[in-house]
Each structure stands twice: as structure tokens, then as C-alpha cells.
Amino acid sequence: MSEITYLEAIREGLAEEMERDANVFCLGEDIGAYGGAFKVTEGLQSRFGEARVIDTPISEAGIIGAAAGAAHMGLRPVCEMQFIDFISCGYDMLTNYVATARYRAMLPCPMVVRGPSGGYVRGGPFHSQNPEAAFLHTPGLKIVYPATASDAKGLIKAAIRDEDCVLFFEHKYLYRRIKETMPEGDHITPIGKARTAREGKDVSIITYAATVWKSLEAAEQLEREDGLSVEVIDLRSLAPMDDDAIVATVRKTNRVLIVHEDTRTGGVAGEITARINELAFEWLDAPILRVTAADVPLPYSPPLEDYVLPQTNDIVKAVRRLAAY
């Protein structure tokens, strides 16, 4: 089997689920004939028809609301946000309606809301956001954010089969930059299970999405230049979060750095830090550190974007500080 990109892996997962289950359908802006802003759904409308790959008006709240109604009636919709930044327009539908539907009225909501996320692509403040933390606080929503092509496929398939609403963040920087040969068979990545991207014994980096790759680059540099053995944990799923994997790596290395691309204040790193303090404080030999984006809207200017977003050298510096503590 040949390698396919992260983007192609998502498309392959969508197609396999639409082939397997006639109740699965896609809806979003320009996802049909045009194939989506990044071509994730290219070819799906010609293969499955206009009734199952639906072009919608420009209304994120309308897309999510229509999907919720379809999910209540037994269908399994997959909504595309043209850029995940615009999911904020559907925040009310997601948090006040979709997330509470089962609790309030026993209404099932097996649906997926997916979209291109993140920076490093010079997209500026409206096309580069990572809004996962805004939804992490809402019970009733699941959140996944794959870093590899095989996880992108395995998690989109798992999300479609889930009985609750899953927010599927897909990093646009990774769309065409990483490739992988897909596992054979009906490949599913379980929601809620982290993976060890790199084994280590001196310092742990807990991260997800594009910063997994920055962390792996940093780990290689630190091993080469400092002789440090750095473990990298790829969370893959933010809600539910794999507490067992987090505690296991804390107990192994006793030093933790959390890296994410979202802004710092109120970000996912704060939640992970709190969980470590509650579950594994006695295993720590150093304070938990964070490397995140700065608390500013992402600039268009390439030098300024590079300054605001976490870079490999930022991670290297933080790990060295931890190792020396």
C-alpha cells in the first residue's frame, strides 16, 4: 500500500464510513462540487450523490442546527466548518443545544463537526485559530485533534460511529506535509486514548496536534546536543482526556512540559496541570512548565507569527530549564 497524506486520510475515512453506513452524510459550505476549501471532500459528491454531500448556505449555526435535527432522526451527519475559526458562529447551537440534548430530552446527537484548524500557514487572525479550549469546558461534547495521518483516519471513523457529538479538529499545516501508510482493515483509533510518540526517561512533553512534531524535533535536538531522553505524549483526544497516560509519564520522568499552539491563558495546559497536581503531585521533581502561543490574536506578518507561535527552540529552552531544576 502507498502512503497518503493527513488530508487524504481524512477523506478516506469519510468515504469508508459513507460506504459502510447509508445514514452518514456530509454538509457544509462548498463541500460538494468544489470539494471544500482545502479539497478534503473532493470527489465525494460525485461518488455518493448530492443528497449525501450537501452544499449549504453560509451559516455555521444553520449547518450545526440542521445536523442536530438529522441526528435526532437517526442519521449521522458530518458538518464541515470552512475554517474552524467560524465554529464560534455555531457556539450557541453546540453548547446550549447539541451538548445538552441527550441530558435534557433523551435526544441522541451522533454527529461530527470538523474543520481546518491552526496556524504556521500565514493565515492571520481569522484563519489560524485553535478554539478547542472554548469547548473543553462544555460537558456533552467530545474533542479530538489528531497529529498523524493514521490517527486522522482512525479518529474520523471513530467520531462518526460515536453516539455523541464529536468536534474533530484537523490541523491545516499537517494536511499535505505528513504522509503515512494506513493500517490495513477497518482502522479505528479509540477516542480518549493517548499514544506515546517517543519514549524517554528524563523529561515528559505532553502535547497534541501540530506541536507533536515540534516536540519530536526538540526531543531529537536535546538528545543530540544534551544527551537528554525526552518522552513525547500525543494526547490525540482532549475530551475525554487520557488521565492514565498522563500519570504514567509523570511517574516515569518526574518532569513535565506541556506544549500547545492555542493561547496561554485558559488553555488546555492549565487543565492538564491541575490534573497532574490532583493525581500525581508527589511524583514531581520540578514545577510544570508550559510552552504555548502568546495571548494575542495571530498576526499576518510571517516574522510575528513565528514569534507568537510555539517553535522548536522554545521547547528546547523549556526542557533544558526543567532538566536543570
Catalytic residues: 127
φ, ψ of residue 80 in degrees (nearest 5): -105, 125
For residues 299, 208, 170, 154, the Cα torsion angle rounded to the nearest 10 degrees is 170
The secondary structure element, H or E, covering residue 291 is strand 289-293
Structural contact between residues 206 and 174, judged by C-beta atoms closer than 8 angstroms:
no
Q: Which residues pair with 170 in a beta bridge?
A: 116
For residues 179, 188, 153, 219, the Cα torsion angle rounded to the nearest 10 degrees is -50
The secondary structure element, H or E, covering residue 29 is none
CB within 8 Å of 191: residues ≥ 6 apart: 142, 144, 155, 158, 159, 162, 166, 237, 240
Cα angle for residues 307, 311, 316 (degrees, 5° grid): 125
Residue 117, classed as helix, strand or coil, is strand
Whose grid coordinates read 508550559? 290
| Sign of the torsion formed by the C-alpha atoms of 213, 218, 220 and 223 | negative
| Sign of the torsion formed by the C-alpha atoms of 270, 82, 57 and 32 | negative
